[in-house]
């Protein structure tokens, strides 16, 4: 797609969560946060979406300080407001309140000059599921290797 530049992806999220649904949301940012994001200085760490007072906030995402910000810096770990419609927030809040579901950020990208975050409604995987997935990947890799040798 034209006009989209991926700034960062949350690769660990696929390992720890099973994604059910994706949604795009805008971010409320300060100037120094925008400059830092353009430089790709973001870490998803333990990021998730928290609902407070009819609004949605991105919590636990670290946007590093911008060196040339001067006095107008920002707190790197502050909650950031998400721009969603009221109906979307109500719907997502209802789904998250179900047992075992959460909203995690999967990627941040620039779309037509604005920063967007892709959120995933996700269910956490337990340790057994993750081990099983790693076994399946290893088996598939070995099979692919054998097929390549046979050719």
Question: 58: domain CATH number?
Answer: 2.40.280.10
Residue 63 structural domain: 4-150
Question: At 2, is the pLDDT very low, low, confident or very high (cuts 50, 70, 90)?
Answer: low
The helix or strand, by DSSP H or E, that contains position 80, with its residue range, turns out to be strand 80-83
Who contacts 93 (Cβ-Cβ below 8 Å, separation ≥6)? 51, 56
- Per-residue burial over 122-135, b if 16 or more Cβ lie within 10 Å, else e, is beebeeeeeeeeee
Question: At 149, is the pLDDT very low, low, confident or very high (cuts 50, 70, 90)?
Answer: confident
- Which tokens in the block code for residue 85? 């419609």
pLDDT tens digit sequence for 82-114: 999 999 999 999 999 887 799 999 999 999 989
In the predicted structure, residue 140 carries a pLDDT above the cut 80:
yes
- Percentage with pLDDT > 90 across the chain: 50
In the predicted structure, residue 1 carries a pLDDT above the cut 60:
no
Please say whether the dihedral angle defined by the alpha carbons of residues 118, 19, 100 and 136, taken in this order, is positive or negative. negative
- Which tokens in the block code for residue 75? 């707190």
Number of domains in the chain: 1
Its pTM stands at 0.79
> What pLDDT score was predicted for residue 118?
96
Who contacts 151 (Cβ-Cβ below 8 Å, separation ≥6)? none
């Amino acid at each position: 797609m034209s006009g989209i530049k991926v700034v960062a992806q949350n690769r660990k999220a696929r390992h720890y969560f099973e994604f059910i649904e994706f949604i795009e949301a805008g971010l409320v940012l300060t100037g120094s946060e925008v400059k830092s994001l353009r430089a790709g200085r973001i870490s998803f760490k333990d990021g998730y979406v928290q609902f407070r007072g009819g609004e949605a906030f991105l919590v636990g995402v670290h946007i590093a300080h911008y060196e040339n910000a001067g006095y107008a810096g920002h707190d790197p770990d502050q909650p950031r407001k998400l721009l969603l419609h009221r109906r979307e927030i109500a719907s997502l809040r209802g789904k998250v309140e179900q047992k075992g579901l959460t909203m995690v950020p999967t990627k941040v990208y620039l779309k037509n000059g604005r920063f967007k975050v892709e959120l995933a409604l996700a269910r956490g995987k337990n340790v057994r599921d993750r081990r099983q997935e790693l076994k399946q990947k290893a088996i598939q890799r070995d099979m692919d290797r054998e097929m390549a040798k046979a050719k």
